[in-house]
Structures are given as C-alpha cells and as structure tokens.
Amino acid sequence: QYSGPSYEKVLEIRQKHITPNIVPHFKKPLLIHNGHMQWLFDHEGRRYLDMFGGIVTVSVGHCHPKVNRALEKQINTLWHTTNIYLHPKIHEYAERLTAKFPGELKAVCFVNSGSEANDLAMLMARLHTGNQDIITFRNAYHGMSPYTMGLTALSTWRFPLPGVSNGIHHVMNPDPYLGIWGGAACRDSPIQTDRKCDCTSESGCMAGARYYDQLEEVFKYSLPRGRVAAMFAESIQGVGGTVQYPKGYIKKAAELVRANGGVFIADEVQSGFGRTGEHFWGFEGHDFIPDIVTMAKGIGNGFPLAAVVTTPKIAALLGQALHFNTYGGNPMASAVGISVLEVIEEEQLQKNSLEVGTYFLKSLAKLRERFEIIGDVRGKGLMIGVEMVSDRAARTPLSAPHVAEIWETCKDMGVLFGRGGLNGNVFCIRPPLCITYDDVYLALNVLETVCKQHLEKRLRNWRRNV
Ligand code: PMP
C-alpha cells in the first residue's frame, strides 16, 4: 500500500527542487513505489512488466530475495571503513568477480558508477601507454562525468564544455543498419531481417573491412605519430540503440590499437553479466580479450556498484600515487555483488537470457514481417533493439511524436520499454534476466496491438486525404 506524498505533491517537489536534467519518462510520469522481480507497481497499485530493468540495471530481479537478504545481513554487520582496513567482503568479491574473466584480467578496482569506471579506465590506459589520445564511436555513450562526457558522442547528451574532448577522436560508427555499408547479414545475431548484406564481394562481407579502413585513416591522419592510448567500445551499443557491428570488426580494431601502442577497453556496463545470453561478457562474442573491462549497472542489480578489471601489469601503475574512492568496494556493495553472481549462477540466468531472449528475437522478427513500422530487429539474448521507422526501405526513423505515442500506449497496457538511438526511435528491451516465456508473450501482444493501432490510424488518415 502506497503511503507517500500525493502524486501531485511529488510532481510539485520535482519541479521546485530537482534539477531539470533528469526528464521523467512519459507524459504522465509513473510514480513507482515497489518492485518484485520483473514487476513494478505504481502508487495506485497498477502492475507493469519491466522490459527495461531501470536502464539495464536490474539484472536478477527487483528486490530479489537472496540479494536483499545478503544486503540486510551486511547492513547489520558493517557498513563502511573506506578500505583503510581489510574487510572480508571486498576480498571475497574480488576473487569471485575476477574468476569470471579470461586471460590476464585478474586485477579489480571497485567504484560506484559506470562513469567513474570509465574515467578510471582512461586514466589507466594513459598511464600505461604514455599516450593521450582515445578513440570512441560516434554513436557511443560512456558516461556523464566531464571526462567521459568527452567519450560520449551522442549530440543529445553533450554540453558545450571546454576541454572535455581533449585527445578524443570519434570514429565512424560501424553500424550496418544506419551506416553507409552493410546489412542485417553482417551482424552476429540469431535472426536475420530481410535486408541482406549488400556489400558482399567474392571474399565475403565487406562492411567490416570498409569501416575498418575508416578507423585506419584516423590512425594515419589524426593521431599524433599514429599513437593511441586506448579505444573504447561496448560489445553491443546500448544507449546508441542496440547497435551491433559487422562480424570481425572489433577483433581487428583491437589488433590495430595494440599495434599502435594502445589498449582496448570493453565497456560492459550494459552487455555484461550474461545479458547477451551466449556468453557472460559481451566481448566474448567478438572472440578477443580486451586489456581493460568496465562494468556497472547489472553488477549490483541496482545497488551503486561498478568496477574496472584489468591485468596486474596495467593496474600496477595506479600505485604511482594515491588513488582513492570513499565508497568503492564498501561492504554492502561487495555483499550485493557476491549475491548477484550467485543468483546468476544458481538460477541459470545467462541460459535463460539465451533461450528466452532468442525466442523473443525470433518472434519480433516475425512481427516485423507483418508490420512495416518495424524497420529492424537486432541484438542478442536479452539485449534487443526494435527500430521503428516511417519508411522501411529508406530506413527513415519514425517521428518522435509517433514513437512517444506508441511507447506511452505500451505503458498504459502494462509493459515498460526503453528508448534509445540518436532519434529515440529504437525500443530498447533489457528486462531483468529472470523473465519468462509468458512475459515475452505479453510484451509481444502489446507490441502487436500498438502496431495494429498505428497502422489503422495511418489508413484512416490516408482515406481522409484521398
Ligand atoms: N557506459 C554505458 C554503456 C552506459 O550505458 C552507461 C549508463 N547509461 C554508462 C557507461 C555510465 O554509467 P553511470 O550512469 O553509472 O555513470
């Protein structure tokens, strides 16, 4: 039972006292007051299926009983020491988290947010390589601290601050759907929508090679003596609209970066912890091992916790000076982190992500066959993007008011999706990994209904105009 201030009072406080940067979703914002697993409940007791997981953050389920118990136990034992003393939880967690990584990735530094993790990764890369320049993709989102704001390339997220982009190069996004080369077949996905790769030559798909040429040009023409500190990439671009790269591109890019003195940083903030289904880490889908990995969100199921994992050699350089983070790796966050790892394992959530996610993808691809408004369906596991278009052949994004209307109707019908991409026209699906086939069925039904409604509306308008 909701017992907080009235809905109107909450809106008033928000207007008067909360900075305007966080725009609430929906025309009539939801007042959510509790959650259980894949479900959220508003102040009037209405239930919503959470297909966005608090922006990919709730990995094992809202208020998961085991995670809650672990946190409660820790709260009654010890909250805080700022890591100036030893405490068992951070050590136990460090060992268990690094065990999840291949190769030399065995040193971890805990922080509190994805932006902090990416800041630290930049520092590590620059210290290790002695170089300054960093490469990211034009469509990337890597955080909102002044440092990472420079990495983030989406114009909608950028402020005119001096200095944030010093030494940062935004290279062409290897996007086979909206980019100039490629097609659905260039991507590593369990489904192929009908737009086949249109760049195939005798030696196979050329999209990856063409985008790679563009990257090489940046090394040749833009980097000082061709040297680089790092390249950042997500395994699948999240905020950018669930963008998948042509097969083989990332592995080749990492080789190029290393050959020119740099390290490769995989941002696994969205794609880690089993989200992509077939692997625990998204980068494993690209068949290479990065030098530095950053993670947040799903790592703590919503608790403020993030981390950077790297090799002991790269990590050693942080010892040159004191590097301090008051809350990083605190006992509560560590207890939560351990229990999240346990739940993923015990409930086989990576397997669930693969099975339920692949079924979801295939069903969405079928829905696309029936509705022109769905331009593209892509992703892996439970990291799915549905791109809404007004003209499928031209891939014209559906206009913002239409997207907003459809999105809002889904909410009114009880299913919450995210939105992403430069034009905000990609429905981002990132539910807690515990969702079931029944949940998928509900989400598909709602999507089918809104697509039908949109089509009927278009037909009515068309008839009126003839
Ligand atoms: N990297 C990626 C890929 C993200 O999606 C985000 C957050 N949306 C961040 C970094 C930044 O994380 P935080 O908001 O915790 O700083």
Query: Residue 124 sits in a domain of what CATH number?
Result: 3.40.640.10
Residue 352 has pLDDT above 70, yes or no: yes
> How many CB atoms are closer than 10 A to CB 438?
9
> How many CB atoms are closer than 10 A to CB 458?
14
Closest CA to 139 of 26, 12, 239: 239
Residue 98: burial class (beta carbons within 10 Å; 0-12, 13-18, 19+): middle
Closest CA to 285 of 250, 238, 309, 317: 250
- Work out the average pLDDT over 351-366: 98
pLDDT for the residue numbered 165: 87
Q: Can you give the CATH number for the domain in which 368 is found?
A: 3.90.1150.10
Pair (335, 354) in one structural domain: no
Distance 427 CA to ligand 1 centre (A): 18
Residue 202 has pLDDT above 70, yes or no: no
Nearest atom in ligand 1 to the alpha carbon of residue 239 is 5
Pair (337, 355) in one structural domain: no
Distance 277 CA to ligand 1 centre (A): 20
Chain-centroid distance of CA 183 in Å reads 22
Q: What is the number of structural domains in the chain? A: 2
Last residue of a domain, one of 346, 375, 390: 346
Q: Helices 349-370 and 331-346 sit at what angle, rounded to 10 degrees? A: 70
Closest CA to 423 of 453, 390, 448: 390
Last residue of a domain, one of 288, 314, 346: 346
pLDDT for the residue numbered 22: 75
pLDDT for the residue numbered 23: 75
Distance 115 CA to ligand 1 centre (A): 6
Atom 10 in ligand 1: which residue has the minimum CA distance? 142
Q: Is residue 20 part of a domain?
A: yes
Q: Is residue 450 part of a domain?
A: yes
Nearest atom in ligand 1 to the alpha carbon of residue 297 is 15
Pocket test for ligand 1, best of 113, 115, 122, 237 (most atoms within 8 A of CB): 115
Distance 199 CA to ligand 1 centre (A): 33
Pair (171, 97) in one structural domain: yes
Q: Is residue 2 part of a domain?
A: no
Q: Is residue 168 part of a domain?
A: yes
Q: Please state which of the ranges 294-303, 321-330, 409-418 shows the lowest mean pLDDT.
A: 321-330
Q: Is residue 53 part of a domain?
A: yes
Pair (362, 326) in one structural domain: no
Pair 235, 381: CB distance under 8 Å: no
Nearest atom in ligand 1 to the alpha carbon of residue 115 is 16
Query: In angstroms, rounded to a whole number, what is the distance separating the alpha carbons of residues 18 and 65?
Result: 31
Residue 152 has pLDDT above 90, yes or no: yes
| pLDDT band with cut points at 50, 70 and 90 for residue 58 | very high
Q: Which residues lie with the beta carbon below 6 Å from any ligand 1 atom?
A: 55, 113-115, 118, 141-143, 234, 238-239, 267, 269-270, 296
Pair (234, 90) in one structural domain: yes
Pair 98, 107: CB distance under 8 Å: yes
Atom 13 in ligand 1: which residue has the minimum CA distance? 114
* pLDDT tens figures, 304-315: 999 999 999 999
Last residue of a domain, one of 290, 314, 346: 346
**Signed CA dihedral, 295, 359, 194, 279: sign only:** positive
Closest CA to 246 of 179, 192, 182: 182
Atom 1 in ligand 1: which residue has the minimum CA distance? 142
* pLDDT tens figures, 18-28: 998 877 788 88
Query: In angstroms, rounded to a whole number, what is the distance separating the alpha carbons of residues 340 and 277?
Result: 16
Residue 12 has pLDDT above 80, yes or no: yes
Query: In angstroms, rounded to a whole number, what is the distance separating the alpha carbons of residues 212 and 218?
Result: 10
Pair (371, 447) in one structural domain: yes
Residue 235 has pLDDT above 80, yes or no: yes
Residue 197 has pLDDT above 80, yes or no: no
| pLDDT band with cut points at 50, 70 and 90 for residue 36 | very high
pLDDT for the residue numbered 195: 59
Pair (12, 109) in one structural domain: no
Residue 188 has pLDDT above 90, yes or no: no
* pTM beyond cutoff 0.95: yes
Q: Is residue 1 part of a domain?
A: no
Pair (310, 165) in one structural domain: yes
* φ, ψ at 402 (rounded to 5°): -65, -45
Q: Is residue 72 part of a domain?
A: yes
Average model confidence (pLDDT) across the chain = 94
Pair (355, 295) in one structural domain: no
Inter-CA distances, 410 with 26, 151, 330, Å: 11, 33, 39
| pLDDT band with cut points at 50, 70 and 90 for residue 248 | very high
Distance 141 CA to ligand 1 centre (A): 7
* φ, ψ at 305 (rounded to 5°): -160, 135
Distance 173 CA to ligand 1 centre (A): 18
- Work out the average pLDDT over 45-55: 95
| pLDDT band with cut points at 50, 70 and 90 for residue 161 | confident
pLDDT for the residue numbered 201: 67
The residue segments making up the domain with residue 444 are 7-63+348-465
Pair (159, 204) in one structural domain: yes
Pair (244, 307) in one structural domain: yes
Atom 12 in ligand 1: which residue has the minimum CA distance? 114
Nearest atom in ligand 1 to the alpha carbon of residue 306 is 15
- Work out the average pLDDT over 32-53: 97
pLDDT for the residue numbered 192: 77
Pair (271, 366) in one structural domain: no
| pLDDT band with cut points at 50, 70 and 90 for residue 464 | confident
* pLDDT more than 90, % of the chain: 83
Q: What is the DSSP string of 181-247?
A: S--GGGB--S---S---S-EETTEE-HHHHHHHHHHHHHHHTSGGG--SEEEEESSBTTTTSB-PBT
Pocket test for ligand 1, best of 120, 141, 303, 305 (most atoms within 8 A of CB): 141
- Work out the average pLDDT over 36-45: 97
Residue 234 has pLDDT above 80, yes or no: yes
Q: Please state which of the ranges 130-134, 146-150, 194-198, 414-418 shows the lowest mean pLDDT.
A: 194-198
Nearest atom in ligand 1 to the alpha carbon of residue 112 is 15
Query: In angstroms, rounded to a whole number, what is the distance separating the alpha carbons of residues 293 and 306?
Result: 11
Q: Is residue 339 part of a domain?
A: yes
Pocket test for ligand 1, best of 269, 299, 419 (most atoms within 8 A of CB): 269
Atom 2 in ligand 1: which residue has the minimum CA distance? 142
